[in-house]
Amino acid sequence: MARATLSPEAVVDHALRIIDEQGVAALTLSAVAAQAGVATPSLYKHVRNLAELRELLSVRVMNEMSDQLSEAALGRSGDQALRALMDAWRAYVLRHPHRYFAMIQTPDAGTAEAGERLIGILLAVLRGYGLEDSDAIHAARCLRAAGHGFVVLEAGGAFGLPEKLDESYDLLIHMISSGLRTPR
C-alpha cells in the first residue's frame, strides 16, 4: 500500500487484520507498518504511538459492537431486548475474539464517547425493566460482568464439559432476566 493512502482509519484497518489473524500479542507498530507496506516512522503521521493505536482500535470495536447490539435490540423490550442484546454480544465475540480481547475495557479518555454509546445501549435495554439512574448502573455492571465473563471464557475455550454451551448461555440469560424482574 502506498504511503499516500494511509490515514488513522487505514492504520486501524491494518491493526485489526493483524489482530484477527495473529492475536493481540502480535500488534506492534512495526507489524502494522509491514502490513501497510511502509516504514514504521511513516505511521507516526497518523498515530502518535501504540497506545493511541490501541485507543483507536478500541473505539472501532466498541462502535462495531454498538451497531450490532443496537440493531439486535431495536424494537424490542424487556426479555426480548435482553436476549437479543446478549446473543448479539456473544456472536460478536465469537466472530471476532481477538478484537474483543484487544478492546480497552477500563474507562479511558480516548474511548469515552464510544464506551458511553455502548453502555447507553445496555441502559436502554434495562429501561425495559423499569430501571433508571443508579439502579440501572448497578444492573448494567452486573449484566456486563456476566455477559463479558461468559463470552471471554467461551472464546478462550475454557468450557470443557460436554453440556451444550447454548444451553448454559440460555440459562445465564434466564437468570439475568429473572433477576431484573425481581424487585430488590
Please tell me the distance from the alpha carbon of residue 30 to that of residue 48, in angstroms, as a whole number. 13
CATH hierarchy code of domain 58-181:
1.10.357.10
For the whole model, what pTM was predicted?
0.92
Residue 2 pLDDT exceeds 70: no
Q: Report the percent of the chain where pLDDT is more than 90.
A: 94
pLDDT reported for residue 3: 45
Closest CA to 176 of 121, 129, 106: 129
Which cell is 36 given?
Answer: 501497510
pLDDT reported for residue 107: 85
Intervals of CATH 1.10.10.60 along the chain: 1-47
Which cell is 49 given?
Answer: 504511538
Mean pLDDT value of segment 155-179: 96
Across the chain, what does the average pLDDT equal? 95
- In tens, the pLDDT along 7-60 reads 999 999 999 999 999 999 999 999 999 999 999 999 999 999 999 999 999 999
Contact 15, 24 (CB under 8 A): no
Would you give the DSSP letter of residue 104? -
Contact 55, 111 (CB under 8 A): yes
The CATH number of 1-47 is which of 1.10.10.10, 3.30.350.10, 3.10.580.10, 1.10.10.60?
1.10.10.60
Intervals of CATH 1.10.357.10 along the chain: 58-181
* Sequence letter at residue 7: S
